[in-house]
Structure 1
C-alpha cells in the first residue's frame, strides 16, 4: 500500500495546447488556482507548447488523486515526459471515471478547495467545445491532424507557438517522422529525423558507420521522386547539460544540400565530419568533445569553448502551410518514405 502525506485539498487539472487542437495534454495537481500554475509552467518551459487550463476537478486529496490518474493513464503517457497522448476532452472523461471508481478520494466544492480568493469557475466543467480559431491556426491544426492521421500516430509536440517554429513528431526513439511549422516565415516542412542520442545502441552511429562502408543513400537517390525538392542537413548539436545552445559550427559540410546534389565524395566528407562528433574511444557510442563558438543574442563569443557534441541528421521536403490540401501533405510523406525506410534500416532504429 502506497503511503501518502496528509490529504491536501486542491485540484487535478488538465492542460491543452493553447490555440491549436492536438491529441495531447498535461495532467497535474495544485492547491492553488490552476491558471496560476499554468502560467508558471508556460514561463518556465523551454521546449514545449504554450498551455491553457481546459479542465479541473477539486478534490479532498489532490496528490493522491493525481497519482491514481497517472497510474491509470500510464499506457498513454509519453516516455520521460509529463504528457499524455490524449485529447483534453477525452482526458477529463477518464479523470471523472477514475474519481467515480475510488472510495477514498472525493470531489469537494470550489470554496473548500481554494487557498486564495480567486476565480476557479471551471472546476468540474464538462468537456469544452472546440473554440473558434483564426483561419491561420485552424489551418495549422488541419495540417497537424492530417499528419497524425496519414501516419497513424498519436504525435508528440515540440517547439512553442510563440517561438520561431513548432510542430509534431511520431515520438519514436530513433528515426522519426516530424512536421515543423515556421509561422513567421510562412513555411512548413515534413522531415525524417535522427538525433545523436543514445536511444537503443546509438542508431546515429550505426547509420554513419554503415554509410561510410556502403553509401546506400546514394544508391537510393535515382529511385526517389523529385530529389531536387528534398534537402539534407547534417548538424552538429552542442550540449550544455540538457540544453543545446546555438553554435557557429552547427552545419556539417558548411550548408544544407539538395539530395540531387550529393556526390559520393561530398557524402563521405559529411559522414566523416559527423562521426567525428561521436566518441571514438567508446566505439562512437557517446558524444565527442569539440571546440565550438556559442552564438548569443549580442553575437558570437570571442573565444571557442570545449563542449560535448553529437551529430543530428534531418532530411526534409517543404509544404505550403497555408494550403488545406491533405493530398499535398500526403505527397510529401510519400516522397520521403524511401528515405525513412533507408534511415530505419541502416541505423537499426
Structure 2
C-alpha cells in the first residue's frame, strides 16, 4: 500500500495547476524529486518549473495536447494511435470530417489535421468526395486561392483491415502523399484520386471496402486484405511543445485558421452538391463562376460555406441563371430553391453585403456572383437580410 502524504488544499490546488503535461499532481511531485538538486535549492523553498518542451516525454505531450485540444475545440478528445504506428494523438471523434492533433512518435512536433477516414458513417462520405473530385478537381482550384497552401500537406493513404485492426502495410502511401498542397500538380491529384477509388468496391458503387493484395510490414508477407482510402490534411502546430497552455492554445488556433478552408472544402463535399466557394464576413469569395460553369450547375445542388466560423452553409437546387452587367463587369445570378441544413449543421447567417441582389421570388432566392477575377459570392438578400 502506497504511503499517504497529507497536504493543504491550497498546496494541492497549486500542484494541480502545474500538472498540465504531467497528468496528476503526483506527476509534478515525482518530476520535482527527480530534478531536485540540494546544492542549488534551499530546504525552505522549491521553485516549481513550468513544463518546458525538454521535460515533456511522449506520454506527457499526449496528455498536454489532450488538455489543449479540449479547450480549443470544446469536446472530449478521443485518443488514437496503434502501438506499431508512427502517429498518436487525439481527435474530436466526429462521424465524418474530423479535427485531430497528431504527434509523431520519433519527434516533439505536433500537427493539426483535417481528417476523413474510409469509414461507412452515413453512406461512405469519402467515396462521395473522391467521386466528386474525379469529375471536377476542385482541390486544385482551392490550392490556387488559399494563402497557406505551402504550409499544408496532403495525405491520401491506404488502410488495410484485419477485423477491426489496421496492420501496417508497405503500400500505405498513395501517389505523392505527404506533398505540400501548393506543390500538388493536377495530374498528381487526379492519379491519387483514381488509386484511392481502387481501395473501394466498384461493384457496389464504391460504397464498401475493396480487396487488394498488400505487403505486411512486420512479416513481409503478401496477403489479400480489405482496404479503404484515408484522407488527411496537416499543418505544423509546433516543432516542440510550448511552455504554457495559453501559448499552446494560440498555436493550435493559428493552425486551425490555416486549415479552415480545407475543413470547409471537405465538409462541403459531404453536404452533397457543387461547391461554389468560400466567403467571409465581408462577402469576399475566391472561386470563379463563369457563364460556362453556370450552365453545368442548372439542376444541381450548390452550396457555399464560411471561410472562418463554421460549420455554416447555405445552398439548394439551381433552377436558372442569367448574366448581367454590374459596374461594367459580367455577373452570374443563380436562382435556387433553398435547402435546409442537415441535422447537426448550423444554419447560415443571413447578413449579407451591400452588393447582394435584393430579389426574393417564389422560385427561390437569387444569388449574385461577381466576375471571375476577384470573385465575390453574395446572397440571400432582400427583407431576410435584416432578420
- Normalised by the shorter chain, which TM-score bucket? 0.5 to 0.7
1:334 equivalent in alignment to 2:257:
yes
Q: Which runs of 4+ in 1 moved over 6 A?
A: 160-163
Kindly state the Cα deviation for residue 347 of structure 1 after the two structures are TM-superposed. Answer: 2.6
Kindly state the Cα deviation for residue 148 of structure 1 after the two structures are TM-superposed. Answer: 2.1
Q: What SS does structure 1 have at the residue aligned with 2:142? A: helix
Alignment match, 1:249:
171
Kindly state the Cα deviation for residue 280 of structure 1 after the two structures are TM-superposed. Answer: 0.6
Alignment match, 2:203:
281
Q: Select 2:242's aligned residue among 299, 323, 326.
A: 323
Alignment match, 2:147:
225
1:185 equivalent in alignment to 2:107:
yes
Which structure has more helix as a fraction of its residues? Answer: 1
Answer with 201-210 or 162-171: which moved more. 162-171
Given that 2:175 and 2:191 are in contact with CA atoms closer than 8 Å, whether structure 1 keeps it comes out as yes
Q: Select 1:343's aligned residue among 260, 266, 287.
A: 266
How do 1:55-66 and structure 2 match up within 5 A? none
Point out which structure has higher relative CO (alpha carbons under 8 A, 6+ apart): 1
How do 1:60-99 and structure 2 match up within 5 A? none
Alignment match, 1:310:
228
Given that 2:85 and 2:168 are in contact with CA atoms closer than 8 Å, whether structure 1 keeps it comes out as no
How many residues align structurally? 222
Given that 1:181 and 1:189 are in contact with CA atoms closer than 8 Å, whether structure 2 keeps it comes out as yes
Distance 1:212 1:162, change over 3 A: closer
Aligned partners of 1:337, 1:146: CA distance in 2, in Å? 18
- Unmatched 5+ residue regions in structure 1? 1-19, 23-51, 53-127
Kindly state the Cα deviation for residue 266 of structure 1 after the two structures are TM-superposed. Answer: 1.0
Q: What SS does structure 2 have at the residue aligned with 1:223? A: coil
Distance 1:284 1:248, change over 3 A: same
- TM (norm. structure 2) is 0.53
Q: What are the superposed Cα offsets for residues 80-99 of structure 1, whole Å, 9 maximum, x if unpaired? A: xxxxxxxxxxxxxxxxxxxx
Aligned partners of 1:148, 1:140: CA distance in 2, in Å? 12
Aligned partners of 1:162, 1:21: CA distance in 2, in Å? 27
Aligned partners of 1:162, 1:282: CA distance in 2, in Å? 32
- TM (norm. structure 1) is 0.58
Q: What are the superposed Cα offsets for residues 161-200 of structure 1, whole Å, 9 maximum, x if unpaired? A: 9975422100101111001123531221100111111001
